[in-house]
Amino acid sequence: MSSTIEKFGENVFSMRVMREHLAEATVKSLEATIKIGKNLNAGVADEVAEAMKEWAIAKGATHFTHWFQPLTGSTAEKHDSFIIPDGEGSVVCKFSGAELIQGEPDASSFPSGGLRATFEARGYTGWDPSSPAFIKDNTLCIPTVFCGYHGEALDKKTPLLRSMKALNEQSCRLAKLFGIEVQQRAFATLGSEQEYFLVDEEYYNARLDLQQTGRTLFGSAPAKHQQLEDHYFGAIKTRVLAFMEDLDTELWRIGIPSKTRHNEVCPAQFEIAPFFQELNLAVDQSMMTMEVLRKTAERHGLVCLLHEKPYAGVNGSGKHNNWSLCGPDGKNWLSPGDNPHENAKFMTVICALIKAVDTHADLLRASVATAGNDHRLGANEAPPAIISVFLGDQLTDIVEQIEKGPANSSRQGGVIHLGVDTLPILPRGNTDRNRTSPFAFTGNKFEFRAVGSNQNPAGANVVLNTIVAEAFDEICTKLEADVAAGKAFNEALQKLLSGIIKKHKRILFNGDNYTDEWAAEAEKRGLPNVKKTLDALKAYTGSKAIELFRKYGVLSEKELHSRYEIYKEAYEKTIEIEANTALTMAKTMIIPAVMTAQAELAVSVKSIDAVGGTTVGAKASLKGMCAETEKLYKAVAALEKANGAEKQIAAMSKVRASVDALEKIVPEDFWPLPSYAEMMFMM
């Protein structure tokens, strides 16, 4: 075996490691907590803490930290060393169960959206045993939730775990109806594909915009960029390959099963995808993947850009969210089955998703609303801001047959009898793909493509879990009543699903999602098309959302309001920082450079004139430059006065238009910024 592969998981306090280091009874008790969700036995914590500490120290760790995901969108950690002076000039190492289970970081510097009054600045971190501890930077990292004094969620993990609980409960109810034995907790699975750009650090250091905002505020696509599509899946450049190999090694060491790596459509754009995992772990690992991407790039003299749109005019980056449901029977419930009974359950789950996504398209849209993602969604690229579901031709055909309902009794009429007929064999894998759909069925999972590359994927999955739980709940309630009333199960189910399809089929769309025709058609169907973050976020505080999240115990009304405030503020701050960065660059870099270029050209023109040479073209060019510079001055003045995100965005785009026009006519030697061509191709 390759030594790299052998390193897989070496820095994870995994089940395998626990079995080696803990008593059998302790492992059993922990397993019950992890797999069934049983409360943790207090005595267990001390034993686990001791074993963790010994294991971590043997691996060179000196510190531990509660590692959590505050609402800033990134991760947080505060390191404490294991050492305690022994009074003899030496130290002993201690780590107690209490320290493992709970921490108390000062919460006042994390956003709470008004949830936490300043006199209650305390926040608590609590161990999440379902995500294993791992070592990075000689520090034992313990994944935790982060809550306020009264248990208010101040992080992304808490509602994720709550939503998984709701999904589990409703899945078990559905299992019961289908006569499926509950053997384990049902859970969502996630395979989160990560797109990113790489840029040479020298260019990065020369771009204030990249440093301050993560994206270029000026610059335009070079003549050749992605049109020829010769980068996608192309041979990977040596330097990039060295980076990718190092990246995989680092990810594997902390147990992240990265599986696929390739060039993306745009030059300098790449993708990494892991093998899918249980959702909570996959989210933690997605956050770690972003961190490892950045750090590994640094070691290779590169910078990893995780922004959704680092460059204008070429593709942006997303995080394709491959979501499925592992039922309480341990099987993938989005995988078509081998017999009529299994297929009836499969179609029920498909219909539940159709119902859920149509009912709460606004919430899915809200969950991916950020300043960076606005450049992708609703712009001319993948995917649009209109949420719709792609099922592919064959599954759509089946859905249509179910819709027609049992009234039509002959099979020739194209009617499927659920639980009786076998379904036509569905294509598995990647055959029937539609890459323009925001929410596509891909054989045994749904791929939600609207999540931004820089986002914590938790938010989108909280929405997904909860809306599916609600759909299951409503389906179960109806079926349970029908069965209690003595109706035949298959007929009751058929009728119910037919009704769901009738009501929600407007969300189904298999065509090209990028066209204007679809936008017009979607409007006719009454599907929301919310292009801007501030509008999209409003869904979080609507009465429909408040009731949904309250009912399933995922987020209280207060928690929802706080999230809305935090996301809105983050958006406004981001735009403000972009506006200020654009101003600084225009005033202190672009304008001075352009003025110098003009002055030099003016001197040349004058001296050529003096000897009687022709300067018609040169003068025209000089005048053109001067006119554009005047425009830029005006645009800068307008941006300085602009107040509020919307006005700032409009004013910035005028500044950018002038700067980009100047870049095309000012001699290269004078231009103070690396060009798109350099940044994308010189690596």
Q: Which residues bind ligand ADP (CB under 6 A)?
A: 189-191, 193, 260, 273-276, 320, 322-324, 332, 430, 444-445, 447
- The residues with which 322 forms a beta bridge, in sequence order, are 191, 447
Helices 543-551, 557-585: inter-axial angle, 10-degree rounding: 120
| Residue 269 touches which member of ligand ADP, Mg ion, none, C-beta under 5-8 Å by kind | none
Q: Which is nearer to ligand ADP, 65 or 324 (CB)?
A: 324
Tokens of 226: 């992605």
CB of 173 to ligand ADP, least distance (A): 21
What does the per-residue mask of binding to Mg ion show for 339-358, with x meaning CB under 5 A? Answer: --------------------
- For β-strands 187-192 and 277-278, DSSP reports them as antiparallel
Please state, in angstroms and rounded to a whole number, the distance separating the CA atoms of residues 29 and 48: 11
CB of 379 to Mg ion, least distance (A): 19
| Residue 376 touches which member of ligand ADP, Mg ion, none, C-beta under 5-8 Å by kind | none
Tokens of 537: 């976020």
What is the Cα gyration radius of the chain?
28
- For β-strands 102-103 and 139-148, DSSP reports them as unpaired
Please state, in angstroms and rounded to a whole number, the distance separating the CA atoms of residues 399 and 286: 34
CB of 213 to ligand ADP, least distance (A): 28
| Residue 260 touches which member of ligand ADP, Mg ion, none, C-beta under 5-8 Å by kind | ligand ADP
How many chain residues are in contact with Mg ion, going by CB under 5 A? 2
End-to-end CA distance of the chain: 32
Among 63, 185, 253, 320, binds Mg ion (CB under 5 A): 320
Candidate ranges 83-91, 193-201, 294-302, 422-430; the one touching Mg ion (CB under 5 A): 193-201
Report whether 536 contacts 370 (CB < 8 A). Answer: no
Helix (H) or strand (E) holding 575: helix 557-585
| Residue 370 touches which member of ligand ADP, Mg ion, none, C-beta under 5-8 Å by kind | none
Nearest alpha-carbon partner for 517 in 395, 368, 386, 362: 386
CB of 589 to Mg ion, least distance (A): 38
CB of 435 to ligand ADP, least distance (A): 8
Q: Which residue is nearest to ligand ADP (CB)?
A: 191
Which alpha helices (H) appear in 234-339, and where do they start and end?
Answer: 238-253, 279-299
Tokens of 313: 């005019």
Instruction: Look up residue 142 and give its DSSP letter.
Output: E
Q: How far is CA 531 from CA 312, 362, 368, 390, in A?
A: 17, 11, 11, 20
Please state, in angstroms and rounded to a whole number, the distance separating the CA atoms of residues 561 and 547: 13
| Residue 348 touches which member of Mg ion, ligand ADP, none, C-beta under 5-8 Å by kind | none
Q: Which is nearer to ligand ADP, 322 or 533 (CB)?
A: 322
Q: Which is nearer to Mg ion, 193 or 565 (CB)?
A: 193
| Residue 534 touches which member of ligand ADP, Mg ion, none, C-beta under 5-8 Å by kind | none
Place of tokens 């070429």: 314
162 binds Mg ion (CB under 5 A): no
| Residue 390 touches which member of Mg ion, ligand ADP, none, C-beta under 5-8 Å by kind | none
- The residues with which 508 forms a beta bridge, in sequence order, are 389
Q: Which is nearer to Mg ion, 320 or 365 (CB)?
A: 320
Q: Which is nearer to ligand ADP, 26 or 269 (CB)?
A: 269
| Residue 430 touches which member of ligand ADP, Mg ion, none, C-beta under 5-8 Å by kind | ligand ADP
Helix (H) or strand (E) holding 405: none
CB of 447 to ligand ADP, least distance (A): 6
CB of 259 to ligand ADP, least distance (A): 6
CB of 337 to ligand ADP, least distance (A): 14
**DSSP sequence for 185-238:** --EEEEEE-EEEEEEEHHHHHT-HHHHHHSS-SS----SSSSTT--STTPPPPH
Nearest alpha-carbon partner for 362 in 565, 98, 538, 174: 538
CB of 330 to ligand ADP, least distance (A): 12
Contact set with Mg ion (CB under 5 A): 193, 320
